[in-house]
Copies of this chain bind each other. A is one copy, B any other.
Amino acid sequence: MIDSADLAAFRDMLGAEGIATAPNERLPYETAARYGKGVAAAVLRPANTAQVSAVLSYCARRRLPYMPQSGNTGLVLGSTPDPSGTQLVVSLQRLRELRVDVFDRTVTVGAGVRLSALNAALEPHELHLPIDVSSDPMIGGMVATNTGGARFLRYGDMRRHVLSLEVVLADDEGTVLQLARGLRKDNTQLDLRDLFVGSCGALGAVTCATLEVHPRPKQVATALLVPRDTDSILDLMAGFENLAGDYLSAFEGMSGSALRHVFRYAPGLRNPFGAELPAYAILVELSSMRAAHRQGEPALQTTLEEITASIACQAAAPLADAVFGAPEQFWRIRHSLSDGLRSQGEVVGLDLSFRRTQVLPFRNSAIRMLHEEFPEYEVCDFGHIADGGLHFNLLCSSGTGRAAEVRKRVTQLAVEQFGASFSGEHGIGRANQADYSRYTPSQIKRFSAEVIKVFSTLPSAAIDFGQ
């Protein structure tokens, strides 16, 4: 247990700015973005890698439970303390290094830099980190959870962008490791780097990353597609993959029920469908790194309209309707879905992921099961159909549902019968511990625990990979 001598030691180590103990100062670090609120023994705010090392070394030697935290925007309690009041938050927000190498198309960026700040720094160079999420996380957390998002089908996850990492271990020395060297091609070491991506800090804290970044698209075009029925969604996707090819950068499914709630929640949001909402809609996005109107080439918007028309003309067309409009408008709808649902009642949110072929069979099966066993829940899902990702949200708008029970039942159906991942892209944290313990083969748990022991004598308190 942490005592006053420990707090004094941290104050000596970090200065007054480096430690927060008053409840109002601690509050933002204790409050999770969406679910849950804990109590921290204290919040430590090291200003640089050397101070992170001193903190983790001290925690390891004294066996003080801690959690690294950066933006604290995660959804799985990977960075917020539990209610016990015994866990330290090690905030990495003050690690704000940011160096852009324009020609190399890489950035070296501290754990405490927000995605929006990184992209603002990249914008003058027409570059960006193309990971699209509804929140504004910091780089440390993005690495530690391996953030995915809505443009995964084109750009992949954080793992794909991480060229090298600086990490600090929770061992007696607070060892600082440089993992890889910021090169695109480098096969000279065992890949320890990727162990830290998606590790939730279990092996140590990520303090700095060198990332590959990409040119910004020069053209973006979007449409909202209404499939003939949900059984046609895969054919519609195959049609777009075939005809749009390289241009396809998002294919986001949204259920009619989720759309209904979002338009009710945010009346300022324009409903492009008219009075009757479709049962399902898809936000399709094409983007191109090539400028518009070069030498007789049609603009991307024209290309999108032509592809859509050509699919609509097919016999037994998988497409019933399409609405064209500005990307910002359509993405605002997509990014409001989650909050829209939450304004309407209790939401059980499941971040599932499947083989592409299994998304819709699961969806049908789960809807049938819920109708019979949990009729108080309405399915308001949306998802990244082309990557197999499905945000399977269940809304209980009247009274209290059986949240824990329905979560367990749906997860079981998804994992055991459809080979799903119970955490597709939100990473892993305390909220996943029960599912992790239940669905992870004991062999994998054993090897994971052994690997973690190689690095840190005291893993982060956020999740126990050995349990």
**Chain A contacts to B: CB under 8 angstroms:** 101, 103-106, 145-146, 148, 152, 156-157, 159-160, 175, 177-179, 181-192, 194-195, 197-199, 202-203, 215, 218, 234, 238, 241-247, 288-290, 294-298, 303, 306, 353-357, 384, 387-389, 419-428, 432, 435-436, 439-441, 443-444, 447-448, 450-452, 454-455, 465
Contacts and interface: CB of A to CB of B under 8 A. Distances in A.
28 contacts: A103-B356, A145-B187, A152-B184, A152-B185, A157-B185, A175-B443, A178-B441, A182-B419, A183-B388, A184-B353, A185-B389, A185-B424, A185-B425, A186-B423, A187-B423, A188-B421, A188-B422, A188-B423, A190-B195, A190-B202, A191-B194, A192-B447, A192-B448, A192-B451, A215-B245, A245-B290, A246-B290, A297-B297
Contacts of A101: 355, 357
A245 B202 contact: no
A301 to B, nearest CB: 13
Nearest to A157: B185
A306 B294 contact: yes
Given A104-B357, A183-B354, 6 more contacts: A101-B355, A104-B355, A186-B353, A187-B198, A188-B423, A450-B454
A133 B281 CA distance: 42
B177 A447 contact: yes
A432 to B, nearest CB: 7
B444 A185 contact: no
A249 to B, nearest CB: 10
A293 to B, nearest CB: 12
A225 B261 CA distance: 56
Contacts of A451: 190, 192, 451, 454
A447 B455 contact: yes
A153 to B, nearest CB: 8
A365 to B, nearest CB: 18
Contacts of A182: 355, 419
Contact of A245 (B191, B218, B422): B218
Nearest to A191: B194
A148 B427 CA distance: 28
A189 B177 CA distance: 22
A439 B218 CA distance: 42
A268 to B, nearest CB: 32
A17 B182 CA distance: 46
A414 to B, nearest CB: 11
B425 A187 contact: yes
Contacts of A234: 103
Contacts of A306: 294-295
